[in-house]
Structure formats: C-alpha cells, structure tokens
Chain A
Amino acid sequence: HRCDWLHAILSSVPQLTNSPTLIVMVGLPARGKTYISKKLSRYLNWIGVPTKVFNLGQYRREAVQSYKNFEFFRPDNEEAMQIRRACATNALKDVVIYFSKDHGQVAVFDATNTTRERRISIVSFSKEKGYKVFFVESICDDPDIIAQNITEVKVSSPDYVNCDKDEAQADFLKRIECYKQSYVPLDDEKDRHLSYIKIFNVGSRYLVNRVQDHIQSRIVYYLMNIHVTPRSIFLSRHGESELNLLGRIGGDSGLSPRGHKYATALGGFIKGQHIKDLKVWTSHMKRTIQTAEHLGIPYEQWKALNEIDAGVCEELTYEDIQENHPEEFALRDQDKYRYRYPNGESYEDLVHRLEPVIMELERQENVLVVCHQAVMRCLLAYLLDKTSDELPYLKCPLHTVLKLTPVAYGCRVEHICLNIEAVNTHRERPGNVDVTRDPEEALKTIPEHF
C-alpha cells in the first residue's frame, strides 16, 4: 500500500550510510563500555537504524561454561588466550551475518580491544568487508566511579553467581590488573587516521577524530549528551479530557472534571516525592497545559510533544472512522507503526519529531513530561527498548504516572495510579485486520465511552 512505497524510499531518517558501520568499544573493564553499547544500540534502533550489540564476554561465557577466577584473564594464560581469540573471531563472524543476512546497519563490538594488535586486525577485517569503523574509547581513572561500576553491574554478573560481594569485588579488581599491562589507548599520532571518540571520566571531556559521515556524527552527538548522574523521569498523560469522555481521538479540548481532579492529585504526588530541581514539560495543547497549571511549578511547552496528528480522523470516534474510512482503519491495524493518517502522521513520524525531546531528556536530570497517549508510547519505547511492533500497543492509561529510574543497564519502572477514575483509551489490535472485515470485527476492541 501507499505507505510501503514511500517507506521503501525513505522515511523519517535520511539515507545514513551505504556501508554498514562497525562500532568498536575500547577500554579497561568497568569503564562503562557495555553501558554505552546498550544505550547507543537502544537509541539507534529507536530512531530506525537497525543495530545490534555483540558482547564478547557473552561469547566467552558460552565457550567456558563456568568462570573460576581472574586467572583466566592473565596475559600469560595461553589456553585462555586461544579461547578468547576464538570468541572474538566468532563474534565477528556473527557481525558479518548480521550485516549481510539480517539487514543490520550498525554493529557494536563490545569488548576491551585494548591492544593495538587487536584493533588493527578489526580494521583490516572491516576494510576487507567494506564496513566503516568507528572506535569509542572510555577512559576513567577515578577509583570511585570504577568501584561504583563494579558494584552495580559486575558483582551480579553470571561470573560471580557463587561469590559474595567482597570476593567478587576483589577478583574483579585483579581482572582489571590483567589488562592494564598491555593496554595501549588510542594514540593522537599513531591512530590519527582512525575515526573515534575518546570519552574521559564519564563525559567531562571528549576527543573526537575524523568523523566520516552522518551516522557517526549523530553517534558522537548522542554520546556527548548522555550522563550517569542518578535521576528519575516521570511520564504522565494529561488528565482525562472532554473529548476522551466522548471516545473521540485528537483535537484540543480541555480537561473534564475528573481530569482536573487528577491534575490536583498529580500536584500532590509530585510534592510528596520531594524531587530536587524538577523540570516540567508539556505540549502546546490545552489538556497538558491545564494539567501542568495545577502543579504550581514553572513548565516549558514543546510543540514536539503534541499528540499524533490524526489528519482526516481528528476528533472522530473509532465508530466514525470505521463508518467513514473503513479501509484506512484496517490498514492502520495492519501496520500501526508505519501507518500515516491521511493528512496526518504515523508513529514513525512521531518518533522522528520526538528525537530532540529524547536528546534533551538525556541531558536533563529530574523531569516530568505531561503528554499524550501516542507520544508517551514513543518515549516509553525508547526508555524501555521496545520494538516498533510493540510500541503502538504499549499501555499508557490515563491518570497513571510512570516513574523511570535508570539502574544498571536498564530502567526501573514504577506505575503509580493516582486513583482517579477515567475512561480507558487503549485499543488492542483486533483479530481481523483485513480490509474486507465486517464492522463488528473492526470495532471489537474499542474501549467504552460516553
């Protein structure tokens, strides 16, 4: 259908590269390489660039079923060296499959890659295959940060499942020592022809060399905006609106009486959280602004946070849409992520326009975003690494706050329902998405309304 053709040529993201890109992490253990790999991969996938992480530690755990201790990593342990080299080869083989068969565009090779020898072999491998290479080196000499890292993600690793905290910590520190001797950081002179970013001490300083293309430029921009300072992101929809009550989508109506109640309750909840320096963001639409007004805190309006534009279907009920645009209704159920309302937007468009919001969310610390159903689904999908198939069906009910707190490699989510009744606006994917379906089949999953 129409969407496929347009999508095939180009959608929200311009042709970023013709050749695939291999991102190569560099750094001693506990320098945040895996944290960066996972976060970067999550971001690239969200903006529509198929990306996958290849973590060497995982390959090693599969090859050597049980980890004994740091001795495995001693530079004079020949047997272990052989195994580790084989793992690297296997990982790179999988990268080739990912690029050639699975339509991957970016692969993140997450390993220490601390010797020049190892990096040279990766560069020749890539040259041979026609991949672009971009190195991301993390350098950190702050012992507090390293200790914190170890506590957050190493102690609970499968490697240390039978150890107590202190044993694990001690062993891991010895593991780091094994790498230190042979560690050769990227060199200003010798590596001046390579493309890379060096991150010092969790982002206080960066060295960027030879950015080759658009995707590398976007990666650099992203990496320079993320931080690890503890904070929470609060996501909530506006309070129930007048149009919500009538089961109508879109529009720009104000809050219903229950919606106002929610806004007041939200204000109380926020106060109770005692959040330091909370930023509040809303869209330009009445219902989010009215909600924020009750909070008594200054707020910023973002046009980018406006609800998805339903084009010709604005302010219609689902029953209206079925009656007036049955084919469009079915097409939407077939591919809810890419489907674009006539004269309106798709979820895919929404992701594109939300990208600057995400970038600023990364820069900020404590933020409350008061937005809309489709918008919240997009933001949530980014924060919780949901696929484009799952995204349009994520549950974001009215009158519920989601508190997201980054922890280890992911995000802890707390659902806080503020106990004010509201209509349900969530429509599940119906069983029959064929354009020839009966109206009843189309309307089966519509939530109740007045």
Chain B
Amino acid sequence: MMRGCSRSKSTQNLDRTVCMTNCPTLIVTVGLPARGKTYISKKLTRYLNWIGVPTREFNVGQYRRECLKIYKSFEFFRPDNEEGLKIRQQCASAALNDVRQYLADGGQVAVFDATNTTRERRETITVFAEQNGFKVFFVESVCEDPEVIAENIVQVKLGSPDYTNCNTEEAMEDFKKRIKCYENSYETLDEVLDRHLSYIKIMDVGRRYLVNQVQDHIQSRIVYYLMNIHITPRSIYLCRHGESDLNVKGCIGGDSGLSPRGKEFAKYLRQFIQSQEISDLKVWTSQMKRTIQTAEAVSVPYEQWKALNEIDAGVCEEMMYEEIQQHYPLEFAMRDQDKYRYRYPKGESYEDLVQRLEPVIMELERQENVLVICHQAVMRCLLAYFLDKTAEELPYLKCPLHTVLKLTPVAYGCKVESIYLNVDAVNTHRERPEVGIHTYIHTYIHTYIHTYIHTCMHTLI
C-alpha cells in the first residue's frame, strides 16, 4: 500500500516514502535448521522491497562463513563447543550492528535470519530492539515432517558453500547432525510465556498458523503475505498479448485488437501451452481487447483482471514516441530522468502500477500453474517481483512481444526460460537514453525559441 507521507508542507507529487509505521521493524526468524527460515526471509524481503518498503535481510550464517572461512563439520555447532559458541555470538552481534546501521540509514524493515531457538537469545534481541526503538516481530517455522526437511536439505543445503567439498551423503549426514545440535536447547515460542510478543508461528509449511499480538499495518501485511505463500512446485508463464494494430503503428497504450502477426502468435501460444501439458492451468488476462483476443485463441477458460490493464499514459495515450517528443518534450525528458516514479499527466506511473498489481501478485502466490497474458509495463512489474529487480531496473526490463517467460521457483530464487514463439513482431522496447539535465534544458529552450520565432513570424505576416 503506498500512501504519500505529508511532511511539513503539502507537495502535490509526494515522495514515495511509505508511512506504514513510525518506527522501523525488526523481523526475527525462529526455527531449527532446514525449516525454511532463509527461504521465508528472502521471499519476504523481495515482496516488501517490491511494494516499496526498504527491506534487507541479515543472514547470520553468512557472517559465520565470513568469520570462519572454512567449515569443517557439524562439531562447530555442538552446544559444548565453547569457542564455536563465542564465534557465533560475535557473528550475531555483528549482524545486529549492521541491522542498526541499516535501519538508521533509511531502511524500514530488517530481517534477522538465524535460528534464534533459545528464549535467552530472543530476549537479547528484544532488548536490543527496545534500546533502538525498533518494533520486533518473530516468524517461527515449525516442521516435523521428515520428507519436507530432507527435500529442504537437498534443495539448498547440499549446494551451500559449507559443503563444496563433500559428496551428497556426507553433506546430508553432517547436516542432520547439525540439526541435532540445536534440538536439545530449542525453546519454541510459547503461548503463555511469550504471550506479550508479536509473532506468527508457521506450522507444517503453512497448514497451520498461530498469530499473536499483531501491532500494526506492516505486521498485518507480513502475516497476510506469509499465509498466502506455498512451496508446491509449479510454473508461472508470463507473456504479452500478440502484436496489436497500435503496436504496428508505433503508438503506445490504447485498446486496439491484434494484428495478423498477433493472431498468428496466439495460435502458436495455444500450441505451446498444449505441448507443456500443464495440469490445471489458470489463464489470466487484462480487460483490454488485445489480451482477451490472445486468450480466446488459446481456447482455455480465462479470467479478466482490470488490475492487469496496461499503464495509463494519460494525455499521451495512443501517441507515437515521436509525437510525445514533439508535443510534450519536457514530460518526455522528465520520464527518462525517473521512469519508475514519473506519472504521465492524467495517467499513471510504474510505481502506481506496482500498487495496483499487488493483489495480482498475492493471488499468484496462492495459485499454482498460471499463464498471465498482459502488457509491457505490467509484465515488467511482475517480472521485477519474481526476479527481485530494483525500481531503477524495472522500467527497462526486456519483455519483447511473442516471447513467453516460464518462471519456475527453485531453491531461493526463480529459474527463467525464455521461449520465443517464432512469429515476427515490432520491437517496442525503448532503452534509457543518455539524458543529462543539459540535454533537456536544451530541448526546452529549443522548443521555446522555436515557438517564439514562429509566433513572431506569424505576427509579422
């Protein structure tokens, strides 16, 4: 949710700082190894950054790897290993120090990703947060299903830097012993003892949740997000509508139908989808003709979302870039200066687009196999979410016509396959031009003088 914050004076086009809480929030993961803490941390961080809440994760394991350089074996984690404990304590402190720095420097949420399995450790963190004026929210992952844990280990532990020199069995054995080291001292968040803490306990990969004392808006959003994600294998297919008549003319926006090549693409899309043999595929389109016509050709039931409509270019709707340059040179230049935040007069910005796409992302998280037939700017926003791209990169992501992106979540990220369906189309991608402030002043003066001279000549005549 993006609301501009009022500072002392009202400014019309308010900055994008979201005022969800007054104080920063420290999210603290809790759980034995291989319970999905890092998976959750990274995913949550990606989501919060995408909706405009500056977030960063601090993985204590990483600090330990930097400190220790070489990981020998699980013995490091034995509870009676005094030296090991000291180093781990130092790493946790170093991480918390960086958290403090980050939240003081404009960060709004920090995710402290570690086991934090003892009440004592959590108490230390709570005190640290209190001293610094941070709100604390715990995210505990509890899971006893041996299959899920084994799968976890295979997916993300075996490939960890800790086990580069081990074979699969050795790594698996060692990691299991590592988990054992934590088990004895593990104190789960307790309904009575911890009733004053704010937390969500996720049980059995999302079958059950216990939510306690949600303090504010951002925590409520975090809970909602965590309750909607799942780890069932699936793929998300993103593509644009087939080439449209306005695309061919080089015009942006509008609501035209498909060109002949666009219709051709739709047929190939249908073949491609059939060849993928996807179980229970959901198909989503926008409410604009070109995506609907594309879906119609695929011949599967589809749902229309207004939220998937292309970015509204306001006064520039249906213009060619050359026309925009001619009629609105200043606007054109300003857009190139900050393409993410720039809002077309009477239209939208990419930033607005992200906000209206948030329910789409939430539902994409809930679903399994989905094909989203949308538009260039919309697809850039969705892609930025899945591939963790920044606001600077987002408006320049390449989303060419007639190409399907197949995204498959794997480990901590997303595998991307780009499938070009071999039907020619115009290129609608405009790179960031080399624009300096002098260039657009030059343009402005040029246009002003041109108009002035033109007017003078008119008067003379």
* 18 additional contacts (CB under 8 A) given A205-B211, A292-B6: A10-B305, A205-B191, A205-B213, A207-B210, A208-B227, A209-B207, A210-B208, A214-B363, A214-B366, A221-B224, A221-B227, A284-B14, A286-B12, A300-B4, A301-B4, A301-B14, A314-B346, A343-B317
B19 adjacent to A208 (CB under 8 Å)? no
Determine whether B287 belongs to the interface, using a CB cutoff of 8 Å to chain A: yes
The answer to whether A299 and B363 touch across the interface, beta carbons within 8 angstroms, is no
Contact assessment for A217 and B227 in the assembled complex, using a CB-CB cutoff below 8 Å? yes
B303 at the interface (CB under 8 A from A): yes
Instruction: Pick the residue among A6, A349, A356 that contacts B304 (CB under 8 A).
Output: A6
A284, B5: Cα distance in complex, Å: 11
Residues A360 and B1 in contact, CB atoms below 8 Å apart: yes
Q: Are A289 and B287 in contact (CB under 8 A)?
A: no
Q: Which of A286, A299, A314 contacts B6 (CB 8 A)?
A: A299
Docked complex Cα distance between A360 and B19 (Å): 13
In the assembled complex, the Cα of A299 lies from the Cα of B14 at a distance in Å of 12
Chain A, residues 361-382, CB within 8 Å of chain B (1/0): the string is: 0010000000000000000000
For residue A11, CB closer than 8 A to chain B, the reply is yes
CA distance A302 to B217 in the complex (A): 15
Interface residues of chain A: helix, strand, loop or mixed (majority): mixed
Identify which of residues 122-168 in chain A touch chain B, using a CB-to-CB cut-off of 8 Å: none
Q: Which residue of B lies closest to A293 (CB)?
A: B10
CB distance from A254 to the nearest CB of B (A): 11
**Which 8 residue pairs of A and B lie closest in terms of their CB atoms, listed nearest first?**
A301-B4, A206-B211, A208-B209, A10-B304, A205-B212, A221-B224, A300-B3, A299-B6
Query: Do A208 and B211 touch across chains, with their CB atoms under 8 A apart?
Result: yes
User: When chains A and B are docked, how far (Å) is the Cα of A211 from the Cα of B209?
Assistant: 10
User: Can you name 26 A-B pairs with beta carbons within 8 Å?
Assistant: A12-B306, A15-B303, A204-B195, A204-B213, A205-B210, A206-B209, A206-B210, A208-B209, A209-B207, A214-B363, A217-B224, A224-B211, A224-B223, A225-B220, A284-B12, A286-B12, A290-B10, A300-B6, A301-B3, A301-B5, A301-B6, A301-B14, A303-B352, A314-B346, A349-B306, A356-B1
- Mask of B336-368 contacts with A, CB within 8 angstroms, 1/0: 000000000010000010011000000100100
0/1 interface trace, chain A 1-44, chain B, CB 8 Å (1 if under) = 00000100111101100000000000000000000000000000
Evaluate contact between A303 and B2: CB separation under 8 angstroms: yes
A363–B217 touching, CB < 8 Å:
yes
Does chain A have a CB within 8 A of B418? no
CA distance A206 to B213 in the complex (A): 9
Nearest residue in B to A285 (C-beta to C-beta)? B12
B-contact 0/1 string along A61-85, CB 8 Å cutoff: 0000000000000000000000000
Contacts of B305 in A (CB 8 A): 10, 14
Which residue of chain B is the closest to A348 with respect to CB atoms?
A: B306
Q: How many residues on the A side are at the interface (Cβ–Cβ under 8 A)?
A: 44
Q: Given the complex, which residues of B lie within 8 Å of A211, measured CB to CB?
A: 227
Name the residue of chain B whose CB is nearest to the CB of A297: B6
Contact surface of B with A, Cβ cutoff 8 Å: 1-6, 10, 12, 14, 19, 191, 195, 207-214, 216-217, 220, 223-224, 227-228, 284, 287, 303-306, 317, 346, 352, 355-356, 363, 366
Q: How far does the alpha carbon of A205 sit from the alpha carbon of B201 in the complex, in Å?
A: 11
Collect the chain B residues with CB atoms within 8 Å of residue A284's CB. Answer: 4, 12, 14
A298 within 8 A of B: yes
Which residues of chain B are near A176, meaning CB under 8 Å? none
In this complex, the member of A11, A14, A352 whose beta carbon has the largest number of chain B beta carbons within 10 angstroms is A14
A225 to B222, alpha carbons, bound, how many Å?
A: 12
Q: Which residue of B lies closest to A217 (CB)?
A: B228
* B208 contacts A208, C-beta separation under 8 Å: yes
Which residue on chain A has the smallest CB distance to residue B210? A207
How many whole Å from A154's CB to the nearest CB in chain B? 29
Min distance, Cβ B35 to any Cβ of chain A, angstroms: 18
CB of A446 closer than 8 Å to a CB of B: no
Minimum CB–CB distance for A111 against chain B, Å? 25
Q: Give Cα A289–Cα B223 distance, bound, in whole angstroms.
A: 32
| Nearest residue, chain A, Cβ from B255 | A343
Q: In whole Å, how far is A55's beta carbon from the nearest beta carbon of chain B?
A: 28
B residues less than 8 Å from A192 (CB atoms): 208
Whose C-beta in chain B lies nearest to the C-beta of A221? B224
Does A245 sit at the interface, judged by CB under 8 A? no
Smallest CB gap from B214: residue in A: A224
CA distance A6 to B303 in the complex (A): 11
Residues of A263-290 contacting chain B, CB below 8 A: 281, 284, 286, 289-290
Give the complex CA separation of A220 and B208 in angstroms: 12
Asked if B209 contacts A363 (CB within 8 A), the reply is no
Known: A205-B211, A284-B14, A349-B306. A14 touches B6 (CB 8 A): no
Identify the interface centre among B1, B5, B211, B366: most chain A CB within 10 Å of its CB.
B211
Residue of B nearest to A196 (CB): B208
Q: How far is the CA of A301 from the CA of B224 in the complex (A)?
A: 24
Question: A300 touching B19 by the CB < 8 A rule?
Answer: yes
CA distance A207 to B211 in the complex (A): 6
Q: How far is the CA of A352 from the CA of B304 in the complex (A)?
A: 14
Q: How far is it, in angstroms, between the C-alpha of A302 and the C-alpha of B191 when the chains are bound? A: 37
Q: What's the nearest-Cβ distance from chain A to residue B33, in Å?
A: 25
Interface residues of A in 203-235 (CB under 8 A from B): 204-211, 213-214, 217, 220-221, 224-225
Pairwise interchain contact A210-B207, C-beta atoms closer than 8 A: yes
If A14-B303, A220-B227, A303-B355 touch, does A207 touch B3 (CB 8 Å cutoff)? Answer: no
B217/A289 in contact, CB under 8 A:
no
- CA separation between A268 and B450, bound complex, in Å? 52
B208 touching A207, Cβ below 8 Å: yes
Q: A289-B12, A360-B1 are in contact. Are A298 and B6 (CB under 8 A)?
A: yes
Contacts of A225 in B (CB 8 A): 220
Question: Residue-by-residue, is A291-333 near B (CB-CB < 8 Å gives 1, otherwise 0)?
Answer: 0110000111111000000000010000000000000000000
